[in-house]
Structure formats: C-alpha cells, structure tokens
Amino acid sequence: MKHMPTVTIAISAYNEEHNIGKFLKSILEQKEDGFEILHIWIFNDGSTDKTVNIVKTFQDQRIKIFDDDKRIGKSSRLNELYQNLAADILVQSDADIIMAHNLVVHDLIQPLIYEKEVGMCGGNPCPLPGETFTEKAVNCTVEAYIPLRTNLRGGNNIFSVDGRLLAYKNEVTKKIHIPETMTSNDKFTYFSSLVLGYKYRHVPTATVWYRSPNTLKDQLRQNGRFVCSPIRHRRYFPAELVKREMYIPKKFIIKNLIKQFIHNPIMCIYIFVINVYCKSNAKSFDNKITARWPIAFSTKNLK
C-alpha cells in the first residue's frame, strides 16, 4: 500500500456486558505504528443486557454502535459490516476476548500491507487457565491442537483460522457474502478467500486471550456448531477443497493426543466422549442450529 493504511476494527455483539468494556479498553491501547485506526464498530445484534449502555460510556469518537433490537444472527451482521467497510483493512474480532499486548493489531495486519497476494490473516487466540473441570478439559484439547497453527504448512492452514481475531483486505470482504445460517463464519471466509485466489497468513504474535466453556452445556453448544460446519461448507465449496483443508495427518493427532492423555487421562477421556457424541450427531446439529444459535455464556466473563 502506497499510502498510510487505514483500519476498521469491528465486532458483532450479542449480550456482551461482562467483557465488552475490557475488550474496548484493550482496543484503545493498541499502538498505531504505520497505520491509522479510523473506526471501531460494534454491530449490536439484539442484545437485551447492558451491552449498548456500556459501549456508550466510551467517549472515543472512533467508536460507533450500530444499534438494532432485532437478533438476526452473526452472519447477517458480518455481511452488514462488509457492505459498510470503507477502510483499507478490516480487523474482525469477537467481544469476549482481550488483546494480549498493544501491538496485536500492528502485527496482525503486516502481511496484508506488505504481501500483495495475501488477503486474509489470522491471529493467535490463547485460552486463559481453566477454573472448572470442563474448562480445564477443553484446554487440554486446545493444547493438543495448538501445534497445528505452526507446524502444518507453516501455520497457514484452516486450523489457525479463528473468529476471535481475523483481518482482511477491503477488496476481499467486498466479494464475500456469508449465508445466513452459516455456523462457522471464520472458516467460510477462509474458503472464500482461497477460491477468490488470495493467500492466508497466520500471525503467531497477534495474541488474544479468551475463556473456554466451563460447563458441559456450553461445551456441547460450541462443539455442536463446530462438527456441523464441514457439512454446511460442502454446500458452498468443492467437497475436495473442504476435505483437503480439513485433513490432519493421523500421526500428528496420535502424537499430541497421547501426550495430553499421559498428563491428563481423565480429562482427555471426558472430552473424547463429548467429541464422539457431537460427531455422531453432526447431522442432527446441522438440522437444528439456525442463525440465532444458543450462545455459550460461560465464555463471556474474562478475568
């Protein structure tokens, strides 16, 4: 980019009162080195709590809330965001995260600025230490899969794509329209970027903190959306592309799962049973989950 790149940071928010203030504070602490943050947008998706009131307490003129009392789903809100985007780069996040340092945005967007063929980047979400048995067990699974972010194709793969922190060139978002009922918006934009001819880059230093589900109910909700996403992606993209990108070498899985099992056998068995249950019911989840899917409230209170 020949001029100073401009950035819009945006989220779709639904009942985010527990963390929206912390999220915005971590955004306002970001150092603008070589770019300018033009807008910080919050698309309110029918929140019934204090989300909107908390956002309005911030006096920064870049913060704008698109307030709507209707819940239409994250996919529709993201399409609304993509249509309104004017900045060169979009940094898209979730409300239930906190930036780990003040150069997260800076690091995340560097490939978009300096690599012409790159259209999308992914950050490095890391879970906070677990407080409940379920949360600790989920974190064990995360630990087993984290090496995928760096070891599989240099980290530039679908397993490092996480909606908690993504960035796109404006020209990419203008070409993407997410189906209303898509449960895995982040992966959908990844496949879209590849089909459009763009490359993806994982940025390990762009770290954000988040909390894993700490109840069985919330884990089932979150995992249910995950297991049915390949079914929905195959409706919009070539099955061979989805299969290739979702493939994990068996030796990699076995090696890392055994490592976690040795340290936490009971937790690993617990998560294994949950995963088997969710995978065996993937089609059922696909039939039931709509654009207004039940959210995991236990992930929204970061400490």
Structure tokens at 128: 């906070």
Specify if 301 maps to a domain.
no
What sign for the dihedral angle of Cα 190, 144, 203, 15? positive
CATH number at residue 92: 3.90.550.10
**pLDDT at residue number 273:** 86
CA distances from 184 to 23, 191, 223, 224, 227 (A): 22, 11, 11, 11, 10
What sign for the dihedral angle of Cα 226, 227, 232, 235? positive
Structure tokens at 193: 């970027």
Specify if 183 maps to a domain.
yes
Specify if 303 maps to a domain.
no
Specify if 182 maps to a domain.
yes
CB 224 within 8 A of CB 285: yes
**pLDDT at residue number 221:** 79
* Domain total of the chain: 1
Please identify which residue in the block is written with the tokens 């995978």: 279
DSSP 57: T
CA distances from 135 to 131, 290, 303 (A): 6, 25, 14
Specify if 302 maps to a domain.
no
> What range defines the domain where residue 244 resides?
6-296
Helix 185-195 crosses helix 239-246 at what angle (to 10 degrees)? Answer: 120
- DSSP state string for 235-287: TTS-HHHHHHHH---HHHHHHHHHHHHHH-HHHHHHHHHHHHHHHHTHHHHHH
Give the Cα separation of 133 and 154 in Å (integer): 32
CA 4, distance to chain mean position in Å, is 27
What sign for the dihedral angle of Cα 146, 28, 2, 195? positive
CA 181, distance to chain mean position in Å, is 16
Q: At 100, which amino acid appears?
A: A
DSSP 295: P
Taking phi first (over 0 means left), then psi (-120 to 50 degrees means alpha), and beta for anything else, what does residue 99 get? Answer: beta
- One pLDDT digit (tens) per residue for the chain, 303 residues: 668 999 999 999 999 999 999 999 999 999 999 999 999 999 999 999 999 999 999 999 999 999 988 999 899 999 999 999 999 999 999 999 999 999 999 999 999 999 999 999 999 999 999 999 999 989 988 887 788 777 888 889 999 999 999 999 999 999 999 998 888 899 999 999 999 999 999 999 999 999 998 888 888 777 777 777 778 889 899 999 999 998 887 777 777 777 778 888 888 888 888 888 777 766 766 666 665 656 666 677 777
pTM of the predicted structure, to 2 decimals: 0.90
Specify if 101 maps to a domain.
yes
